[in-house]
Amino acid sequence: MDTSTHVVMGVGLAGLATLDPAIAASPYMQSAIMATTLIASNAPDFDTVLKLRNNATYIRHHRGMTHSLPAVITWPFLITAGMMLFFPAAHMGTIFLWALISVILHVGVDVFNSYGTQALKPFSNRWIAFGVINIFDPFIFGAHAVGILLWILGVSPGPTFLLIYIGLVGYYVLRMKQKNTVVRRARIHHPNATHVFVSPSLHPSRWHLVIRTKTRLYVAESYKRQLTFFESYTFDPIPDDPIMNAARTDKNLAAFLSFSPTYRWEISHTNQGSYEVRFIDLRYRSKGHYPFIAIVHLDDSLQVTTSYTGWIYKEKTLQKKLNFSPEDG
């Protein structure tokens, strides 16, 4: 989820914690729990700092180790230790419990969007992405915002957020059923599909799809039970040839391939005798444009001269990015 959602979830968990009479009766403990849940609800995303290095490092590692099984255990200990410095009279066990709940909830909700996490690391490097919740879901954010407003107005936060979280569990179940229905409709059109990739949008009734068969890739959209097909491409595995093999040594393309499960690729020869290798993620079609890409330029001796991976909405912006060296990402 996005940062704003994790923030309101942190507040919501602090409200939920007041169901504990010991917390409800102590303004000191309420302050300690609020600080704990806010920090713990955002701690796994502290790896966003990797963006300062380059896109390749960020894409390859964001939601990786910081969302892994060891991290889920480690974060609560680190946060509890930090909180005890500022709230030495707080009950350590209670602080640890709510730090643990907050971290688990963060990682748990992240696996439900199309980006996913490497939550099973180190046992598996596979990205787990259920693709049922947009990275920003207005309903989830709105439910928390209403709960926070009611808290400010004097309504008891414990029962309020208990009801909200029970309702959100039902909402997640509903969204999973909706996604399964979309997948079934897609398979009616393409019963031989080997995989149907689904990405939710901001609109609750609109879903982006990529349907892969053994020979083709179909880009489609499901909206209010209607399936609309856009482009289709020949499904070509990445070739084992000198140009592509040279491009795949580039860290930007390697980061893209570690993250994207469905894409198309193209190789073009420029007038200057150089080569361009471009990979395009097909999951995020927006107004006829595919913004998540990786591109590698190679000279006539197949040495990488420049490359980029990330979100690009205008070709002019891409050309500016490609002025950087491969190390700049």
The mean pLDDT value of the chain amounts to 90
Residue 289, C-beta contacts closer than 8 angstroms, at least 6 positions apart: 313
pLDDT of residue 329: 47
291-294 long-range Cβ contacts below 8 angstroms, 24+ apart: 292/260, 293/256, 293/318, 294/252, 294/253, 294/255, 294/256, 294/257
Q: Where are the alpha helices (DSSP H) in the chain?
A: 3-17, 21-24, 27-42, 55-61, 69-86, 92-110, 138-152, 157-189, 242-247, 251-259, 315-321
Q: Which amino acid is at 320?
A: K
Q: Higher confidence at residue 143 or residue 308?
A: 143
Give the alpha-carbon dihedral of 178, 184, 186, 189, to 10 degrees.
Answer: -150
Task: Give the pTM.
Answer: 0.87
Q: Per-residue pLDDT for 326 more than 50?
A: no
> In the CATH scheme, what is the code of domain 242-321?
3.10.450
Residue 29 tokens read as 């403990």
- Over residues 166-219, the pLDDT tens digits come to 999 999 999 999 999 999 999 999 999 999 999 999 999 999 999 999 999 999
Contact 167/234 with Cβ under 8 angstroms? no
Six-digit token pair at 141? 């954010």
pLDDT, residue 91, reads: 97
Closest CA to 80 of 28, 17, 36: 36
66 contacts 131 by C-beta, under 8 angstroms: no
Name the percent of the chain lying above pLDDT 70: 93
pLDDT at 328: 45
- What ranges do the domains of the chain cover? 3-174, 242-321
